[in-house]
């Protein structure tokens, strides 16, 4: 290839780059105008007026973090209905790791080290409702925090369910 042809080719390349840059700048201007577009403005509404005291000032996660777990009382009634609710929710949120028999043999859990706890053992049984609630809410060691996933009421109900297992003695304990 002649040096002249090469030079011409390079000039063309430079021109292309310049055009691309210019096109970019132009489209950037379009973005700036988008806020003035009718299609956008039609849906622009003022935020609703916020009533006073709309922001919760108590009962949040921070309060739980600072609480002494032993002071937490299970607010759910100790009834078969609560245990049934806990069993149902356990089936959504815990079974994949802790297993259908709550013995720690859930399929997902097997990739954890340490393995998920056997929830029917004395080690779990001896802990207060408050401590179990605290641990599953905020997480501990390798345990996921579940406060954002499971509602407060469901967490307490699950604790009742776990305790019912531990007390029933039907399932392998230790």
Q: Does 146 bind ligand HEC (CB under 6 A)?
A: yes
**Closest to 117 (Cα-Cα) out of 126, 106, 127:** 106
Least distance CB 87 / ligand HEC (angstroms): 11
Collect all residues with Cβ–Cβ distance below 8 Å to 131 and sequence separation of at least 6.
69, 70
What's the CA gap between 120 and 127, in Å, rounded? 12
Q: Which two tokens mark 81?
A: 């209905």
- What is the footprint of ligand HEC within residues 153-172 (CB under 6 A)? 158, 162
Q: Does 69 bind ligand HEC (CB under 6 A)?
A: no
Q: Which of 144, 151, 167, 168 binds ligand HEC (CB under 6 A)?
A: 144
Selected range binding ligand HEC among 25-33, 55-63, 131-139, 164-172, rule: CB under 6 A: 131-139
Q: Which two tokens mark 133?
A: 């609630």
One character per residue 97-126, x = contact with ligand HEC (rule: CB under 6 A): xx---------xx--x-x-xx-x----x--
CA 86 to chain CA centroid, Å, is 20
Q: Which of 29, 46, 141, 148 binds ligand HEC (CB under 6 A)?
A: 141
What residues line the site for ligand HEC (CB under 6 A)?
A: 93-94, 96-98, 108-109, 112, 114, 116-117, 119, 124, 127, 132, 135-136, 141-144, 146, 150, 158, 162
């Amino acid at each position: 290839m002649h040096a002249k042809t090469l030079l011409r080719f390079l000039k063309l390349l430079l021109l292309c780059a310049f055009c691309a840059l210019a096109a970019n700048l132009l489209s950037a201007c379009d973005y700036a105008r988008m806020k003035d577009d009718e299609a956008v403005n039609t849906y622009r509404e003022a935020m609703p007026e916020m009533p006073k005291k709309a922001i919760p000032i108590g009962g949040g996660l921070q309060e739980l973090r600072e609480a002494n777990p032993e002071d937490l009382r299970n607010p759910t009634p100790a009834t078969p209905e609560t245990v049934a609710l806990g069993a149902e929710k356990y089936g959504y949120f815990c079974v994949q790791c802790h297993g259908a028999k709550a013995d720690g043999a859930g399929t997902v859990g097997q990739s954890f080290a340490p393995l998920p706890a056997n929830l029917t053992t004395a080690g779990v049984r001896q802990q207060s409702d408050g401590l179990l609630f605290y641990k599953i809410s905020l997480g501990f060691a390798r345990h996921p925090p579940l406060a954002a996933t499971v509602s407060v009421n469901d967490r307490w109900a699950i604790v009742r369910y776990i305790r019912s297992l531990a007390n029933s003695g039907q399932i392998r304990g230790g």
